[in-house]
Amino acid sequence: MSSTQGQVIRCKAGKPLVIEEVEVAPPQKMEVRLKILFTSLCHTDVYFWEAKGQTPLFPRIFGHEAGGIVESVGEGVTDLKPGDHVLPVFTGECKECRHCKSAESNMCDLLRINTDRGVMIEDGKTRFSKNGKPIYHFLGTSTFSEYTVVHVGCVAKINPAAPLDKVCVLSCGISTGLGATLNVAKPTKGSTVAIFGLGAVGLAVSCEGARIAGASRIIGIDLNPSRFNEAKKFGITEFVNPKDHDKPIQEVLAEMTDGGVDRSVECTGNINAMISAFECVHDGWGVAVLVGVPNKDDAFKTHPVNVLNERTLKGTFFGNYKPRSDIPSVVEKYMNKELELEKFITHQVPFSEINKAFEYMLGGEGLRCMISMEN
């Protein structure tokens, strides 16, 4: 099996992305080489492109929300073959470790997310190079490339009839928000749900998770009032802006809901919003789920009585979905019209204009920008 050439978007910290031709090496043991057909831009790509989230590692090929086709497979790969339609995922499922064998966890020991690693697990080398010099991977996926090499444990085989330009958004943010509600918060029909942060993940929680669960009231909390009209299209029934009140937002929500909401989901990563999301749930049965990633020096502080009064605080990673086992069934929800994805895709650009996608994201325009690899 030989190397292939392909166009990639190569990145330097904070600089406009550049399209270049690079060598993409053949997949090694337990790896697959994918032909990426569609990829979308997530806030995580922007965060690391700005070099805010890691020890800078450049040049690097970003991208982790994508859909494609298996081009070739390496030694030991038995459950994928060339031509299979797949979603690469930034975290994995080896199916052998204690986490993978547990029904309660998706935190694979071998393949869980590693933002600093820029090489493949098998041999500690990159599969991308130019003029003999390595170009580093990102989140084990690097989907801003016509071809990429991914560990087989980070690849979900899906229904070949599913449109990749729609379902590729399930490989990160939408599944994270959806699973945070359906798999972790688990609101019952007729319950009240508060969503902190109305970005893509928050709207995935509110519209799809809470809607599918049958929540009767879905209260959106955000500092940006311009988001409310858009949020209503996604299922938000009420909107609260903390700036409009002279008391803590948890007190406002408690007054609105006769003591507190049944479930809350925090999607911003702001430590104060996290505390409010916990303290706004009803005593006795309230459950708060943290999705947003806080700053490394943040500390969560609340009075122990809030816990003793039978409020529950939970965290979630990728919506508690196991990539290989669970994501194919989430795709089927879309195919069966239980799940809506089109409204999350607000822009579309060709691969050659990927910098426009960054401009949309940095300008706060829309939710997801779909990037077609065929210009």
Residues identified as active-site: 42-44, 64-65, 94, 97, 100, 108, 112, 172, 368
Closest CA to 168 of 69, 50, 44, 81: 69
Rounded Cα–Cα distance for residues 59 and 285 (Å): 49
Rounded Cα–Cα distance for residues 339 and 335 (Å): 8
Cβ(83)–Cβ(34) under 8 Å?
Answer: no
Cβ(151)–Cβ(111) under 8 Å?
Answer: yes
In terms of C-beta density within 10 A (0-12 exposed, 13-18 middle, 19 or more buried), how is residue 342 classed? exposed
In Å, the largest CA–CA distance within the chain is 66
Rounded Cα–Cα distance for residues 214 and 192 (Å): 10
Cβ(88)–Cβ(149) under 8 Å?
Answer: no
Residue 216 structure tokens: 């009767």
Beta strands in 173-291 (DSSP E): 192-196, 217-221, 238-240, 263-266, 287-290
C-alpha distances out from residue 129 to 63, 134, 217, 218, 238, Å: 17, 4, 52, 48, 51
Residue 227 structure tokens: 């988001």
Find the helix or strand (DSSP H, E) in which 315 lies. strand 312-315
Residues with Cβ within 8 Å of residue 356, at least 6 apart in sequence: 347, 349, 369
